[in-house]
C-alpha cells in the first residue's frame, strides 16, 4: 500500500478555524490537483472529525476524470474510508451516499446498534479496542485491494498515521490566508512528538494559485 497525505493549510499552518468550519484555502488550480489525486487513488480516507465538521463527499468532481477511471475498469469514484472508533458517522452523511463504496473503520467500542445501522450503507472494518488500530485497519483495507490510498485529514488522524509509520508521502498546499487561533486544527495534532520526530525529504516545490505546493517523502 502507498499512502499519500494531502491537505491544505493557511500561511500560518491551520487546516480550518477554531470553530472547525471548513475553509476554502485552496484555489481553483489546487482543487483541480486534488481532484486528479483522488482520481488516481483507490481510496480517500478521513477521520470522523472531518465527517462531522465538513460532511464531505470525497468524490471525483471532474466528469472526464471519472470517465478515465471507468475506461481503465475502475469504479467512477475511489472508495471512501472513515476512521470512526465509536460509529459516530451520521446515517445521513454524504460519505454514505451511493456515489462510491464506503468503509467505516471502527474499534470494539462501537455499539452494536450503530454497527447494524452503518452496515446497511458501508462495509465495516473493526480493528482496535479503544481507538481504531490504524496498522490493522489499513492492512484490512489492503486485503480489500486498496493500494493507492490518499488521506485528506484531519489533523488528529494525520498525526496518528505518522505515529504508526503509515505515511509514505505528504503533499501540503500552503495558501494565502491567515486563520489564527491556538485551538484551530493544524496538519498534525494529536499528542505531538517529543522525540523520534518523523523526518521528511523535500521532493517538489511548486507555485499553485497564490500559494505553494510542497511534496515531501518520508526519509528512510
Ligand atoms: N484544510 C484541509 O485540507 C482539511 C481540513 N480539515 C479540517 O480538520 C478538522 C477536523 O479534523 P480533526 O478534528 O482533527 O478530526 P479528524 O478528521 O482527524 O478525526 C479525528 C477523529 O478520528 C477518530 N479516530 C479513531 N481512531 C483514531 C486514531 N487511531 N487516531 C486518530 N483519530 C482516530 C477519533 O474520534 P473517535 O475516537 O470518536 O473515533 C478522532 O477524534 C475540520 O475543521 C476540517 O474542516 C479536514 C481535512 C482536510
Ligand atoms: N485540498 C483542500 N483544500 C481546501 O482548501 C480544503 N478546505 C480541503 N478540505 C477537504 O476537502 C473535503 C471536502 O471534500 P468534498 O468537496 O466534499 O468532496 C473536506 O472534508 C476536507 O477533507 N481540501
List, for residues 104-155, the tens digit of each pLDDT value: 999 999 999 999 999 999 999 999 999 999 999 999 999 999 999 999 999 9
pLDDT, residue 219, reads 84
Can you tell me which atom of ligand 2 is nearest the CA of 34? 1
| Domain CATH number, residue 8 | 3.40.430.10
What separation in Å is there between the alpha carbon of 84 and the centre of ligand 2? 18
List, for residues 9-60, the tens digit of each pLDDT value: 999 999 999 999 999 999 999 999 999 999 999 999 999 999 999 999 999 9
- Mutation test of ligand 2: which of 20, 34, 186, 209 has the most ligand atoms closer than 8 Å to its C-beta? 34
Cβ of residue 51 lying under 6 Å from some atom of ligand 2: no
* Beta carbons of 18 and 184 less than 8 angstroms apart: yes
Q: Is 140 exposed, middle or buried (0-12, 13-18, 19+ CB in 10 A)?
A: middle
Q: Give the pairing of strands 102-106 and 79-83.
A: parallel
What separation in Å is there between the alpha carbon of 204 and the centre of ligand 2? 22
Can you tell me which atom of ligand 2 is nearest the CA of 175? 5
Residues 6+ apart with CB under 8 A from 124: 103, 104, 105, 106, 115, 118
What separation in Å is there between the alpha carbon of 195 and the centre of ligand 2? 31
- Mutation test of ligand 2: which of 5, 8, 20 has the most ligand atoms closer than 8 Å to its C-beta? 8
Interface predicted TM-score (ipTM): 0.99
pLDDT, residue 146, reads 98
Cβ of residue 119 lying under 6 Å from some atom of ligand 2: no
Number of structural domains in the chain: 1
pTM attached to this predicted model: 0.98
Mean pLDDT of 189-217: 97
Which residue range forms the structural domain that includes residue 88? 2-218
Cβ of residue 77 lying under 6 Å from some atom of ligand 2: no
pLDDT for 75 beyond 80: yes
pLDDT, residue 97, reads 98
Amino acid at each position: 500500500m502507498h499512502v499519500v497525505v494531502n491537505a491544505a493549510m493557511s500561511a500560518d499552518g491551520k487546516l480550518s478555524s477554531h470553530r472547525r468550519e471548513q475553509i476554502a484555502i485552496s484555489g481553483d488550480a489546487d482543487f483541480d490537483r486534488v481532484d486528479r489525486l483522488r482520481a488516481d487513488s483507490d481510496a480517500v480516507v478521513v477521520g470522523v472529525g472531518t465527517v462531522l465538521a465538513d460532511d464531505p463527499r470525497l468524490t471525483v468532481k471532474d466528469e472526464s476524470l471519472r470517465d478515465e477511471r471507468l475506461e481503465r475498469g475502475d469504479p467512477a469514484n475511489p472508495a471512501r474510508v472513515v476512521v470512526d472508533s465509536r460509529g459516530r458517522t451520521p446515517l445521513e452523511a454524504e460519505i454514505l451516499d451511493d456515489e462510491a463504496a464506503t468503509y467505516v473503520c471502527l474499534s470494539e467500542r462501537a455499539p452494536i446498534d450503530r454497527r447494524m445501522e452503518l452496515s446497511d450503507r458501508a462495509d465495516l472494518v473493526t480493528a482496535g479496542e479503544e481507538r481504531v488500530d490504524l496498522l490493522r485497519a489499513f492492512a484490512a483495507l489492503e486485503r480489500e485491494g486498496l493500494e493507492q490510498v490518499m488521506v485528506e485529514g484531519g489533523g488528529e488522524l494525520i498525526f496518528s498515521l505518522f505515529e504508526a509509520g503509515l505515511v509514505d508521502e505528504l503533499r501540503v498546499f500552503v495558501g494565502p490566508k491567515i486563520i489564527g487561533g491556538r485551538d484551530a486544527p493544524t496538519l498534525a495534532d494529536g499528542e505531538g512528538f517529543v522525540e523520534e520526530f518523523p523526518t521528511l525529504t523535500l521532493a517538489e516545490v511548486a507555485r499553485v494559485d497564490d500559494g505553494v505546493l510542497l511534496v515531501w517523502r518520508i526519509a528512510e
